[in-house]
Amino acid sequence: MSYCLRCGLCCKETEMLLANADIERLERKGYSKAFFVQFDSAGYAKLRNHRGYCVFYDTERKRCKVYRDRPLGCRLYPVIYYEEKGIDMDALCPAKNKWNREQIKEKGKKVIKLLKTIDEEAKQRYTNSALSNNTN
């Protein structure tokens, strides 16, 4: 059920959040965390960009270099969560109209679950960081 048009718009200046499972899976594939993860001050892990695109996006071939092992957020895309309106399709994606309500609803449940996991992991990282800063 992949409707990807390989346009690369979702990989351009990505802000894709990563769960620990995503990071561990990509590390098992031989990628260094320092290469593909950027942590923000609140403890959230995001995919790094290089030359305006996700570090894993091959601009010449217009494809993901880690497609089979890509982060769950990338797998669920273009279903995303908007703070203002909840689950919806990313307006940026040219394939957004190829999805039916049931597909959106099912992926939406997974998006919410993923975001809860990511929030908890970021909170744990932030807490651990604050604790280690206080002991130094």
In the chain, which stretches have pLDDT less than 50? none
Q: For residue 16, how far is the Cα from the chain centroid?
A: 3
**pLDDT at res. 130:** 72
Q: What is the Cα–Cα distance from 20 to 9, expressed in whole angstroms?
A: 25
**Model pTM?**
0.90
At 16 the pLDDT is: 97
Q: Give the pLDDT confidence score for residue 30 in this predicted structure.
A: 98
Query: What are the extents of the domains in the chain?
Result: 9-130
- pLDDT at position 38, please? 97
Task: For 15-37, write each residue's pLDDT tens digit.
Answer: 999 999 999 999 999 999 999 99
Measured CA to CA, the distance from residue 58 to residue 49 in angstroms comes to: 12
CA-based nearest residue to 2, from 109, 99, 86, 83: 99
Determine the pLDDT at residue 128.
87
